[in-house]
Structures are given as structure tokens and as C-alpha cells.
Amino acid sequence: MRRRSLIKAAALLPFGARVASAAPPAEPVTQALIDAAAKEGKVTYYTAMDLSVAEPMAKAFEAKYGGNIKVSVERTGAERLFNRIAQEAASKIYKVDVVNSSDAAHFLPWKRDGWLAPYMSEAMARDLPPEMVDPDGMYCNQRTHLSAMAYNTKMVAPGDVPKGFLDLLDPKYVGKLVKAHPGYSGTIMTATQQLTRELGWGYLEKLSKQKVLQVQSATEPPKRVEAGERAIAVDGSDYLFWLAKERGSPVEVVLPVEGVPQISNPMGVFKAAPNPNAARLLVSWIMSPEGQQFIVDLSGQYPANRQVKPKKGRPPLSSIKTWREDPAAVEKEADQIKAQYARYFKV
Amino acid sequence: MRLDLSRAVLVGVVILLVAIVVLPVGWLFIYAFADKQGHPTLGNFVTLFTDPSFVDPLVNTLILSFSVSAICCLIAAPLGWLAARTDMPLSRTLRILVMASLVTPPFVGAVAWEMLAAPNSGLLNQLWRDLTGAEDPLFDIYTMEGLIFVMACYTFPYVFILVANALDRMPGELEDASSMLGARTWQTAIRITVPLALPVLLAGALVAFLQALNQFGAPAILAIPAGFHTLTTKIWSLFQFPPKSELASAASLPLLLLTVALLRLQAAALGRRGYAVLGGKYGAPRVIRLGALRIPAAMLAMLVLALPLFLPYAALINTAFSPIASQFVTPATATLKNLRFTFLELSSTMPALKNTFILALAASTLGGLLALLIAYIVARQAVVGHRVLAFLATAPLAIPGIVLGVGLFLSYAQTLYGTLWILLIAFITIELPAAYQQLGSAFRTIHPELEEAGRMLGATRLRTLWDITAPLLSTAAVATWCFIFVAVIRELSAAAVLFTSETKVVSVLIFDLKESGDVGAIAVLSLAMITVTAIVIVLANRLGGARLPTRV
């Protein structure tokens, strides 16, 4: 039964690239694990998640275990995170315990090269849709978000609101756009692969002529639109646009009519983790209904855990015309995407 | 004259300098001329020079450096003259403020100028629109001009200090003679003062050019949103994983060679200064009375200083206490959110502060001692081969920070990378030339006869050093210590290549936060960094009676 759902998942989805072996059995959180984790005393969490979410989440985990396990959050864009981990590994430096990337393609080479340790928490086995868990238990999706468009309502007249990507090529938007960069952000790397698959590179070539303000991380366009630096964001993490709107800033989200890039955020434990027990405890907590609820309450991203309901007021994922995510293609095309992008946008 | 153990000391110091200076540069050359398999090739240079994505940054960098250099001279020369030769009020304050702009890290200045002059959300542009009703921004920082402006803001102090110091020392007699012979003030200025100051100004122009050429901080903040690369940001981007070490090394070489050539030019320019100071003691320079222009001159000077100092710091403070960076903070909207986030939530803050402090302390102490040792050996010509030491200690001047970072990484990726040691080496190497030059000139003012007298009276060499030389040197030593400390705190270029997650320093943390646009935390960290710097300078002044070194 389980086997069959895995095979189905493999055929369908990113994570099940191939089914080589069965997933490891689910491990409950035992007192022994908690003690061992407390003995390690800390866990290093590499993530691309915005700090406004990642740091409070880390603090909530620390509080849950009585402050005995300190989390150090190492946040940067997923592409730079990938570079850092590879560079550290090349120098035989092993600092990362748990990694969470917004570029699912990163987990393919990590798994292939044997860098990840299998771990199946109870919630991963019980509450996650099978297609969100790697068949070998090397990683699972932590949460899903979108790369959305958005605009500052004080800067765009109602009649000028763009409906989708193609609208942005109109000359009236010259100098009004801000966009993040696939060379730094995993969200944007994933989104760019989908965008160029659906609309072709010609689209980005034309867009690059619109005097776009180029920023790095997908977490920055929301901040720029909220600050009123640019009227419209071509892309960016949807949850940050929503959060800005919810705190009363003049920000409105646009889900592009052509389709919305969907981004999963896998998480895994590194085999060479210096704090393997704390790493497992952290993953277990983040994937548990409690951890997932925390992420949803704070940010409204789409939870991976089926026990947790998405945040009220956000459009349900099923109602959105999302583009298909294809990590294998992202892995293959990443270098070419970065080079081509740099050719058009000059940086 | 021979040192006790002199040979051993010399060998030790040379080995150390080879490890921290020669090895990194050597690896750069090897990598630049080799392909991925290690076979010799010129292919890397062919790749670079036929690829517009490398040629464009080269052209950009040259435009940038020429412009920054010209602007710095245009601003710094008159300002230096006002401070040194006129009765302008506040001239002492002016000098202190110029030092304060020198101490401000350019990347902090660049972030602050984003807050001020981002075309739409920038505070100055908002004010401009409110006041004039204009559509277009007053100033767009995300342009080549914007970057030139910011870099000039933090480069002009170098030129100012050179010019002001030269004018301080310039003999008054020549000018007196000129006016006694009936020349008017402006004639004296044009015929005497300007020609005498010209070599220094040329040297200043070259220093500014070099600073702009090799700077990473401000371009790293502004170049990407402005849509172009400079050489340093390009090298940095080539060094992202998988590090294209061959290309990064090859791209570093033009920068290295250009720097060496310019340094030679500069030495030539400064060398000519000699003719102005032939023979004997001179009277104090003449003070030119500005008369009715005194107040406007002071106001103008303060206006200039608003650009690197008053405005950026106001913007940083505004952002630190504001919920959104683009809003003017009011008592009603003021928030401690950013402070709380930076110090209580952000888990990198404390480790980064700690690392920075340890490194600054270690680099200034060890680097200062190393410079002292070298300066002593060279000044007293204590051992054969001391010239090699002088050369090696000055050589890092020619190595841009980012290039040194790449070289050190290539040399020590399998050993020291990932520890604070590699950063310590980088910082000591970068600051060694300035520290050495400063202590060297201090040694030259202490005549060896004093030491010889001590020796003749039966004291050992160590005892002589301790009782006679050390007290005479203490001011310079404290100043050097202080100089390295401050320089380490603001260093970004080598650190950006060499850090790992556990060896992050504050400058790198700010750089990381910039990537995600967390300007609130950046403002808080920058202000914290500047506060620490200011405290160190004040303390050093109290303790050692030292002034910040004015040598560059």
C-alpha cells in the first residue's frame, strides 16, 4: 500500500525521482533523543526562509525544549547557501546540521552524493502527503510558497494594475519594477525555470529592457514594494507580500494569470551533522503539527502537514493556477539559467 | 651591528611574511595560468577578455576610478587648504569630522545612501517631491553616478589628509618672500602654494584612484541594483561555488598589476616633494585671512561633511527606530523592534560581534608587534637582508583585499579555512603596510645615538629598547594599534571571501542581511559597529595620547 503510493508519487512528482529502497521506519521523539540533543546543546540550521520567520521559529523550538538547545540560524539566499555548503564540504568543514532550501533541485545532488542522512519523523510518515517525502527518507517538504507579483496600492492606479507577467512588458511600467535574482534566490531560480518553460526566454529578454530594479533575495521585493521604492514586484515570496498587507501596508498581491510559480522548501539532515540528535529533534518539531502551526500562524505559508489548516484569508492552494515544479529540470538548467539571466540583466 | 639571535629572527619573520604575502599571490599566478587540470595555459585570459561580462566590469571600474579620483581632488584640495592655511573657524572640528568619515565603512555609507537616495523610497527624494511637487527624483543612487558619489564620499578623506598635512608642513618663507616682493594673495597662491602642493595632489589623486579601483564594499551594495558589475564584485561573483578559481585568479591579475603600476607612480610623485624642503628649519606657514568669507567657508565645509557623515548617520538612526525604512520616524511611530530583533532574535549577532572583537584585538596586537619588529630591524639595519623585510611588509599595499582573500583561500582552503586564523592572517596582511610605514617613520625620529648611549652604559639591548626606545615610541605604537583595530572592524572584502557560518564577522553579517533587504537590522548593527569604533578611538586617545594616524 505504502509502496504503491510511493511509486505513484515517484511518477508524479519532484521528490520521488526514483524508488531505490524503502523509507526508513518512523522514529518517535524519545526522551533519549531529547537528552542526547540537549547534550549537544545546539543545532545549526541553514535556511533560505526570511529571518522574520526563521528566527522566531528557532526561538519557539528553543523554548519548547527548555532553552537547552540553541539554534543558530544561517540565512542567506538558497543559491548562496548551496555554494557555501559545497565550499565548506570541499574544505572538509562540516557545520550544517539541518538544511532547508527554497530550491528543491539542491537535494538531488546532495542525495546522490550521499551527503544526507535518512530520517523519518512520526509526522513525516503519518501526516505528510507521500509525494512530499523523499522515498528514501532523505528529505521532505517543509512548506510550500509561491512566487507572486504584487504592487503598492498608493503607486498604481486601479486601472493600471497588471494581471500577469505579459502585462509588465507595457511601456508604462518602465522603471516601476523590482525583481529578485535567480543567481542568489532559490525561489527565483525555481520560478525562473518555470517562467522560461512556460513563456520562453524571449519574455525575460523583453522584461530586462523595462529598467528593472534588480535585487538579490526573493525576500527583498516585498520590502521594496512596501517601502514604496518600486510600484510593482515581478516576483518575490508571496507570504511576505501578504504579511505586509496584513499589517496595513499598501500592498496588494497579484497571482499572475499565466500561472504562478510554485516553490516547495525541502528540509533534510546532513550525514556529517556535528549535532545529529538535535538536528533530528529540530526536524521532528518543525514537521509536527505544532511546528507547522507555528509557521502557518506566523507567515501563512502552505503547510506540508495535512493536520494543519492553511491560514485563513489566504487563497487556498487548490484554487490557484500554479505552474508545475520540476527540480530535475532546475538541476540540469541552473547554470544556463544563471548565465542567460546575467546576459539579459547585466548582473 | 648584529642582533642577538638576529639571523633566527630574520628568518622567522621572512618565513611568516612569505606565508601570508608571497604564497597567496603565488597561488593566484599559478591558478591564473593553469586550466582545471593544472596544465599551463593562457586560456583563462582569452576567456575573460573575449567575454563582455568581464570586459564591461573592467571598463566600469576604470570610469568609476577616474571619476572618484577627480571628484576627490576637486573637493579635498580646497577643503584641505581651508583647514591648513586659512583662519576658517571650526578647522579642527573639520579635521576630526574628516577622520570620522574615514572611519565609516564604505558599505555602511552605501546602505545609508540607499535609505537617503533610492529614487522613490529615499528620504531625500521624498522630501524633494514633497517640497517641489516634482515627479522625478532629485538623485538616483542606483546609477553609475550614484556609486561614484558614494565612493567619493568615503575616499576624499585620504586626499584631504595628504593635502592638509603637506600644507601644514609647507615652509611659509617662500610665500612670505612672494608677498614681500609685492605679489597679491591669489598670485602667491597660484605661483607658490599650488606648485608646491601639486605633487601631493597628484599622489592624492592616485591614492583615490587606487581606493576606488580596489573597493568592494560600496559596489557590492549598489552595483547589483544599479545593474552592473565592477572588477571586485565580478571577482567575488566568480568565486561563488563552484569557485571558478582560475577565472577569479585571472581576473585578479589586471587589478594587481594596475595597483602596482599606480603605486610606483605615486612613489614617484611623492618623491618629488623633496625639493620643497631643502635645508634648515622653516617658519610656520602663513595663515590667510578670509575676512568676510570666514563663515561661508566654514558653512561650505560642513555642508560637504554632511554628505559622508551627517546625512548618512541621520538616515541610519531613522531606520534603526522606524518600522519601515522609508518613513521618517516620529515619536508616535518610533519602535524598538529593530533593536530587539537584532540583539535578541537574530542568532548571528552575538557570535559575529564576538568574532569581530577577537579578530580586531588579535590583529591589532599581533600585527602591531610584527610591524614594530620589522620597523626596528629595518630602521636600525640590524641584519643583512633587512631590505627584503621592508619590501615584503610594504608589498600587501599592492594586493586588493578581495584578491588577497582569493589568494589566501587558494593557499589555505584545506587547512585554515573555516577558522578565525585565516581571517586573522588576512587582516594582519592587509594592515601591515600602513602599520609598518607608520612605525618606521616613528623609528626614524628616534636617533640611534640614544640607544647606543644606553648600550655603552652597560644595558643589554632588550633593556635599552625597554627603557629608551619604548617610551619614545609609545604614541606611535598606540596609534598603530588603534588604526589596525578600526580597520579590521570595517574590513569586508577579504572577509566576504574567507568567512564560514561560524566565523562570520559583523561586516559580513551586514552584507548577508543586505541580500535579503533587512535594513532595520543593518542600521542597528552599523550603529553598534561605529559606536565601538568611536569608543576605541577615544580610549586610545586618552591612554596613549595618540592621534589617529593620518598616513595612508
CB of A217 less than 8 A from some CB of B: yes
What is the distance, to the nearest Å, from the Cα of residue A144 to the centroid of all Cα atoms in its chain?
6
| Phi then psi dihedrals of residue B34, to 5 deg | -130, 150
Taking an 8 Å cut-off on Cβ atoms, the answer to whether A214 and B224 are in contact is yes
Burial of B518 (C-beta count, 10 Å sphere; 0-12/13-18/19+): buried
User: Residue B517 is nearest to which of A82, A215, A249, comparing CB atoms?
Assistant: A215
Hey, are the CB atoms on B227 and A84 less than 8 Å from each other?
A: no
Place of cell 585571472: B250
Residues of chain A with pLDDT under 50: 1-13, 16-20
Contacts of A41 (CB under 8 A, 6+ apart): A68, A69, A70, A275, A278
Q: Residues B219, B230: contact at Cβ < 8 Å?
A: yes
What angle (nearest 5°) sits at the alpha carbon of residue A130, between those of residues A72 and A140?
15
- The closest alpha carbon to A106, from A322, A220, A215, A268, belongs to A268
Rounded CA-CA distance B417/B405 in Å is 11
CB contact under 8 A, A346 and B224: no
Q: Evaluate whether B339 touches B320 at the Cβ level (below 8 Å).
A: yes
Q: What local confidence, expressed as pLDDT, does residue B288 receive?
A: 81
pLDDT for B271: 65
- Per DSSP bridges, beta strands A139-146 and A302-303 are antiparallel
Quick one: pLDDT at residue A1? Answer: 39
Question: For residue A307, what pLDDT is reported?
Answer: 97
> Which residues of A fall within a CB distance of 8 Å from B417?
91, 93
Is-contact A70 A62, C-beta < 8 A?
yes
Distance between CA A165 and CA A150 in Å, rounded? 11
Non-local CB neighbours of A159 within 8 Å, separated by 6+ positions: none
Other beta carbons within 10 angstroms of residue B445's beta carbon come to: 10
Tell me whether residues B418 and A88 touch, CB distance under 8 A: yes
- Measured CB to CB, residues of chain B less than 8 Å from chain A are 53, 56, 118-121, 142, 223-225, 227-229, 237, 240-243, 324-326, 341, 345-348, 351, 413-414, 417-418, 500-502, 512-513, 515-519, 521
DSSP secondary structure letter of residue B443: H
- Work out how many CB contacts closer than 8 A connect A with B: 125
- Separation between Cα atoms, residue A153 and residue B355, nearest integer Å: 43
Print the SS3 string covering B99-165. Answer: HHHHHCCHHHHHHHHHHHHCCCCCHHHHHHHHHHCCCCCCCCCCCHHHHHHHHHHHHHHHHHHHHHH
Contact list, A87 vs chain B (CB under 8 Å): 241, 243
* A75–B516 CB contact, under 8 Å: yes
From first to last of its 552 residues, chain B has per-residue pLDDT tens of 444 566 788 888 989 999 999 999 999 999 999 988 888 989 889 988 888 878 899 999 999 999 999 999 999 999 999 999 889 999 999 999 999 999 999 999 999 999 999 999 999 999 999 999 988 899 999 999 999 999 999 999 999 998 998 888 777 777 788 888 888 877 887 888 788 888 888 889 998 999 999 999 999 999 989 999 999 999 898 877 567 888 888 888 888 888 888 888 877 776 654 444 444 455 666 788 888 999 999 999 999 999 999 999 999 999 999 988 888 999 999 999 999 999 999 999 999 999 999 999 999 999 999 999 999 888 877 677 778 888 899 889 888 899 999 999 999 989 999 999 999 999 999 999 999 988 988 887 777 788 888 888 888 877 888 888 888 888 888 889 998 999 999 899 999 999 998 899 999 999 999 988 999 999 999 999 999 989 988 888 777 654 444 433
Cell of B249: 585568479
CA dihedral of residues A116, A121, A125, A130 (deg, nearest 10)? -40
Hey, what's the cell of A276?
Answer: 545529529
Q: How many CB atoms lie within 10 A of CB B468?
A: 18
d(CA B12, CA B23): 15
Residue with cell 525562473: A192
Residues of B in contact with A173 (CB under 8 A): none
Inter-chain touch A347–B413, beta carbons under 8 Å? no
In this complex, is the C-beta atom of A46 within 8 Å of any C-beta atom belonging to chain B?
yes
Q: What pLDDT is attached to residue A15?
A: 52
A42 forms beta bridges with: A70
**B178: its cell numbers:** 612672494
Distance set, CA B112 to CA B124, B131, B141, B308, B527 (Å):
11, 22, 11, 10, 11
When CB atoms are compared, the residue of B227, B326, B502 closest to A214 is: B227
**Cα B56–Cα B62–Cα B67 angle in degrees, nearest 5:** 125
How is A29-42 classified by DSSP, letter by letter? --HHHHHHHHHH-E
**C-alpha pair distances (Å), A184 with each of A179, A338, B108, B437, B515:** 12, 9, 21, 41, 8
Does the beta-carbon distance from A229 to B341 stay under 8 Å? no
**What is the Cα–Cα distance from B123 to B129, expressed in whole angstroms?**
10
* Grid coordinates given for B269: 610623485
**Angle of helix B245-271 versus helix B23-32 axis, rounded to 10:** 120
The pTM for the full model equals: 0.90
Phi, psi (deg, nearest 5) at residue B337: -50, -50
- What are A262's strand-pairing partners? A146
**Dist CA B14 CA B82 (whole Å):** 44
The runs of H, that is alpha helices, within B418-518 are 420-445, 448-456, 461-464, 470-489, 493-498, 506-515
C-alpha cell at B236: 567575488
Q: How far apart are CA A20 and CA A1, in angstroms?
A: 16
Round to whole Å and give the CA distance between B211 and B198: 20
Query: Which of these, A51, A245, A247, A291, lies nearest to A148 by C-alpha position?
Result: A245
B414 chain-A contacts, CB cut-off 8 A: 91-92
Under an 8 A CB cutoff, do A216 and B516 touch?
Answer: yes
Distance of CA B537 to the CA centre of its chain: 16
The owner of cell 550544517 is A96
Radius of gyration of chain A (CA): 20
Tell me what percent of chain B is helix, strand and coil, each rounded to the nearest 5.
Answer: 75, 0, 20
Cβ count within 10 A of residue B220: 23
pLDDT given at position B166: 85
| pLDDT for B192 | 80
Given an 8 Å threshold on Cβ–Cβ distance, is B224 in contact with A347? yes
Say if the Cβ atoms of B243 and A223 lie within 8 Å. no
Q: How many residues does chain A have?
A: 347
Nearest-10 crossing angle of helices B52-85, B294-305: 150
Are A333 and A193 in contact by the 8 Å Cβ rule? The answer is yes
Give dist(CA A11, CA A130) in Å, integer. 12
CA distance B228 to B144: 8
Q: Name the residue among B405, B402, B440, B43 with its Cα closest to residue B234.
A: B402
pLDDT at B277: 43
Contacts of B242 in chain A (CB under 8 A): 83, 86
Which one of A50, A71, A347 has the shortest CB-CB distance to B228? Answer: A347
Relative to beta strand A262-270, strand A98-100 is antiparallel
Tell me what pLDDT residue A309 has.
Answer: 95
Main-chain dihedrals φ then ψ at residue B3, nearest 5 degrees: -75, 150
Is B516's CB within 8 Å of A86's CB? no
